[in-house]
Chain A
Amino acid sequence: MIDNLVFIRNAFSRYYSENIDRVEIPKSIENREFGFTLFKEGVMVRHKGFMKPEDLKDFIKKNIPSNVFYSAAYYSVPEAKMDEKGWLGSDLFFDIDADHIPTKCNKKHDVWTCRGCGLKGRGMTPDKCPTCGGESFDDKTWPCEICLETARSETIKLIDMLMNDFGFSPEEIKCSFSGHRGYHVQIESEGILDLDSDIRKEIVDYITGTGIDALLHGLEEVRDGKTRFLVGPSLDDFGWRGRIAKGTYEFLLAATENDLRNLGLKRKIIEKILSSRDEILESWKTSGPWNLVEGLGLDGWQKILQHSATFQSAKIDTVVTVDIHRLIRLPGTLHGKTGLLKVSFPVSRIEDFDPLKEALALKGEEVKVYVDEAPAFRLGDEIFGPFEKQSVTLPLPAAVFLLCKNAAKVID
Chain B
Amino acid sequence: MDRAERRIVEALTSNPPEVSYNPYAYNEDIELLSFPVAIVLVAALANDYIKRRYALAEARRAYSLFKLENEEKIAEIAGKFGWKIRVINRQIGFIRFSFALHFIDYLKNAIAFHEKEWKLVNRMVHNGEVYLSKHDVARLLQEEVRRYIESKIDLSAEVKIPEEILKYVEKIRQICSEKIKETPLEPIPSGVVNDAFPPCIRELYEAIKSGRHVSHIGRFTLTAFLLNIGMDAESVINLFRSLADFNERITRYQIEHIAGERGSRTKYTSPKCDTLRTHGLCVGSDELCRRVKHPLTYYLRRTRALEKREKARVEE
Q: Tell yes or no: B177 within 8 A of A by CB.
A: no
Q: Tell yes or no: A328 within 8 A of B by CB.
A: no
Q: Tell yes or no: B126 within 8 A of A by CB.
A: yes
Residue pairs across A and B with CB atoms within 8 Å: the count is: 122
Contact with B along A232-256 (1 / 0, CB 8 A): 0100011111000000000000000
Q: Which residue of B93, B104, B278 contacts A204 across the interface (Cβ within 8 Å)?
A: B278
Does the CB pair A198–B277 fall under 8 Å?
no
Does the CB pair A166–B278 fall under 8 Å?
no
Q: Which residue of A128, A168, A206, A319 contacts B128 across the interface (Cβ within 8 Å)?
A: A168
Task: Report the Cα distance A217→B95, complex, angstroms.
Answer: 10
Residue of B nearest to A222 (CB): B94
Known interface pairs A128-B213, A318-B278. Does A199 touch B107 (Cβ–Cβ under 8 Å)? yes
Does the CB pair A211–B126 fall under 8 Å?
no
Chain A residues lying within 8 Å of B110, measured Cβ to Cβ, are: 202
- Would you list which residues of chain B between 124 and 151 have a CB under 8 Å from chain A? 124-129, 131
Does the CB pair A211–B127 fall under 8 Å?
no
Chain B residues lying within 8 Å of A165, measured Cβ to Cβ, are: 125-128
Q: Tell yes or no: A259 within 8 A of B by CB.
A: no
Does the CB pair B245–A213 fall under 8 Å?
no
Does the CB pair B278–A216 fall under 8 Å?
no
Chain A residues lying within 8 Å of B211, measured Cβ to Cβ, are: 128, 133, 135
Does the CB pair A238–B124 fall under 8 Å?
yes
Shortest Cβ distance from A173 into chain B, in angstroms? Answer: 13
Does the CB pair A240–B128 fall under 8 Å?
no
Known interface pairs A205-B120, A210-B278. Does A218 touch B93 (Cβ–Cβ under 8 Å)? yes
**Which residue among B216, B243, B279 has the maximum number of chain A CB atoms within 10 Å of its CB?**
B279
Task: Categorize the interface residue count of chain B.
Answer: 35 or more
Does the CB pair B107–A211 fall under 8 Å?
no
Binds A, one of B62-70, B111-119, B222-230, B299-307: B111-119
Does the CB pair A238–B121 fall under 8 Å?
no
Q: Tell yes or no: B217 within 8 A of A by CB.
A: yes
Shortest Cβ distance from B150 into chain A, in angstroms? Answer: 16
Known interface pairs A82-B264, A164-B126, A211-B116. Does A201 touch B278 (Cβ–Cβ under 8 Å)? yes
Chain B residues lying within 8 Å of A198, measured Cβ to Cβ, are: 111
Known interface pairs A195-B104, A201-B275. Does A240 touch B244 (Cβ–Cβ under 8 Å)? no
Q: Which residue of B129, B213, B217 contacts A135 across the interface (Cβ within 8 Å)?
A: B213
Known interface pairs A128-B212, A195-B104. Does A213 touch B94 (Cβ–Cβ under 8 Å)? no
Chain B residues lying within 8 Å of A319, measured Cβ to Cβ, are: 216-217, 279
Chain B residues lying within 8 Å of A318, measured Cβ to Cβ, are: 278-280
Residue of A nearest to B265 (CB): A83
Contact with A along B172-207 (1 / 0, CB 8 A): 000000000000000000000000000000000000
Does the CB pair A191–B104 fall under 8 Å?
yes
Does the CB pair B126–A192 fall under 8 Å?
no
Q: Tell yes or no: A42 within 8 A of B by CB.
A: no
Q: Which residue of A116, A128, A211 contacts B121 across the interface (Cβ within 8 Å)?
A: A211
Shortest Cβ distance from B130 into chain A, in angstroms? Answer: 9
Shortest Cβ distance from B73 into chain A, in angstroms? Answer: 26
Known interface pairs A82-B264, A127-B212, A164-B126. Does A209 touch B245 (Cβ–Cβ under 8 Å)? no
Q: Tell yes or no: A115 within 8 A of B by CB.
A: yes
Residue of A nearest to B216 (CB): A319
Q: Tell yes or no: B122 within 8 A of A by CB.
A: yes
Task: Report the Cα distance A209→B266, complex, angstroms.
Answer: 32
Q: Tell yes or no: A220 within 8 A of B by CB.
A: yes
Residue of A nearest to B129 (CB): A167
Does the CB pair A164–B127 fall under 8 Å?
yes
Q: Tell yes or no: B312 within 8 A of A by CB.
A: no
Known interface pairs A198-B111, A238-B126. Does A206 touch B244 (Cβ–Cβ under 8 Å)? no
Chain A residues lying within 8 Å of B120, measured Cβ to Cβ, are: 202-203, 205-206
Task: Report the Cα distance A211→B119, complex, angstroms.
Answer: 8
Does the CB pair A213–B122 fall under 8 Å?
yes
Q: Tell yes or no: A341 within 8 A of B by CB.
A: no
Chain A residues lying within 8 Å of B245, measured Cβ to Cβ, are: 115, 135-136
Does the CB pair B111–A199 fall under 8 Å?
yes
- Would you list which residues of chain A between 143 and 180 have a CB under 8 Å from chain B? 164-168
Q: Tell yes or no: A350 within 8 A of B by CB.
A: no
Shortest Cβ distance from A206 into chain B, in angstroms? Answer: 5
Chain A residues lying within 8 Å of B129, measured Cβ to Cβ, are: 167
Does the CB pair A133–B94 fall under 8 Å?
no
Residue of A nearest to B105 (CB): A191
Contact with A along B243-264 (1 / 0, CB 8 A): 1110000000000000000011
Q: Tell yes or no: A392 within 8 A of B by CB.
A: no
Does the CB pair A134–B244 fall under 8 Å?
yes
Shortest Cβ distance from B90 into chain A, in angstroms? Answer: 11
Q: Tell yes or no: B314 within 8 A of A by CB.
A: no
Task: Report the Cα distance A128→B213, complex, angstroms.
Answer: 7
Chain A residues lying within 8 Å of B278, measured Cβ to Cβ, are: 201, 204-205, 208, 210, 318, 322
Task: Report the Cα distance A213→B274, complex, angstroms.
Answer: 15
Contact with A along B95-108 (1 / 0, CB 8 A): 00000000110011
Q: Tell yes or no: A270 within 8 A of B by CB.
A: no
Residue of B nearest to A201 (CB): B278
Task: Report the Cα distance A210→B94, complex, angstroms.
Answer: 25
Q: Tell yes or no: B92 within 8 A of A by CB.
A: yes
Name 17 extra pairs, CB < 8 A, besides A83-B263, A128-B211, A201-B274: A82-B264, A83-B266, A135-B213, A135-B245, A166-B103, A167-B103, A195-B107, A199-B104, A202-B107, A203-B107, A203-B120, A205-B277, A211-B116, A216-B117, A222-B94, A237-B93, A240-B122
Show 9 residue pairs from A and B whose CB-CB distance is below 8 angstroms, ordered by the A residue.
Answer: A166-B103, A195-B104, A198-B111, A202-B107, A213-B116, A216-B117, A233-B93, A239-B123, A319-B216
Could you list which residues of chain B lie within 8 angstroms of chain A, going by C-beta atoms?
Answer: 92-94, 103-104, 107-108, 110-111, 116-117, 119-129, 131, 211-213, 216-217, 243-245, 263-264, 266, 274-275, 277-280
Closest 8 CB pairs of A and B: A167-B128, A238-B126, A136-B245, A127-B213, A134-B244, A216-B122, A83-B264, A167-B127
